[in-house]
Chain A
């Protein structure tokens, strides 16, 4: 079935460092892809999205490019801040399907 795989383990990095979180997916057809962010004690918020191959989603300095050839949607940010500390989820919406499938999430901790 349709699924999303995120890299294992938390990510700890220093302020102003480069962040990459890997996300790969398995799906039939042409899904839409998303990154959600969850700040401590809160629900998930949509961070960015891409709906077709080669689309680049961007928001708040974060970017991710829909790569159909590698079935990937990696999240990147060039210079992280302490306020970016959160859990990040990659998600997939299969075309014509009612269900949004989530990866397991990655805890990101940014140290001053």
Chain B
């Protein structure tokens, strides 16, 4: 089925560890983004990309890196995990940013940092 695939679904990290959250889409969407969802905070934009080779920061980029080498993939890297990064992470894509067709979301990665 076409859509946005995120892996893993669940992850527990120790403080200071690094990891990569994977996001892949098969809809040929140019725009991809990462959000984190925290209780009472809604969704906050971490990083986004308007096409292969182009990325930019969102509201809360500190502690995260991204790259976009292909149209399909947009991994999110945690460089040195901290308890404050415990959250649910969502990847979303669309044909263009701010698209009137809305975004397609993945099912999320629940990350716990201990």
Q: Known A43-B90, A44-B90, A45-B105; judge A32-B31 contact (CB<8 A).
A: no
Q: How large is the interface on A (under 10, 10 to 19, 20 to 34, 35 or more residues)?
A: 20 to 34
A99 x B42 contact (CB < 8 A): no
Assess whether B100 is in contact with A49, with CB atoms less than 8 Å apart: yes
Q: Measured between C-beta atoms, what is the minimum distance from A44 to chain B in Å?
A: 4
Q: Interface extent on B, as a size class?
A: 20 to 34
User: Do A98 and B50 touch across chains, with their CB atoms under 8 A apart?
Assistant: yes
Question: Could you give, for residues 24-68 of chain B, a 1 whenever the CB lies within 8 Å of some chain A CB and a 0 otherwise?
Answer: 000000010101000011110100101000001010000000000
Contact indicator B41/A32 (Cβ below 8 Å): no
Choice from B42, B96, B102 contacting A105 with Cβ under 8 Å = B42
Give the most central of B42, B90, B92, B108: most A CB within 10 Å.
B42
| B residues near A97, Cβ cutoff 8 Å | 97-98
Chain B contacts for A43, CB-based, 8 A: 4, 90, 105-108
Q: Does A100 lie within 8 Å of B98, measured CB to CB?
A: yes
Mostly helix, strand, loop or mixed at chain A's interface?
A: loop
Q: Complex formed: what's the CA distance from A41 to B99 in Å? A: 25
The reply to whether A98 and B90 contact each other, CB–CB distance below 8 Å, is: no
Give A24-51 as 1s and 0s: 1 = Cβ < 8 Å from B's Cβ atoms.
Answer: 0000000010101000011111100101
Within 8 A of A (CB), among B92-114: 92, 96-100, 102-103, 105-108
| B interface residues (Cβ-Cβ under 8 A, vs A) | 4, 31, 33, 35, 40-43, 45, 48, 50, 56, 58, 90, 92, 96-100, 102-103, 105-108
- The 10 closest A-B CB pairs, nearest first, are A98-B97, A43-B105, A93-B98, A104-B42, A46-B102, A102-B43, A44-B105, A43-B107, A32-B100, A102-B42
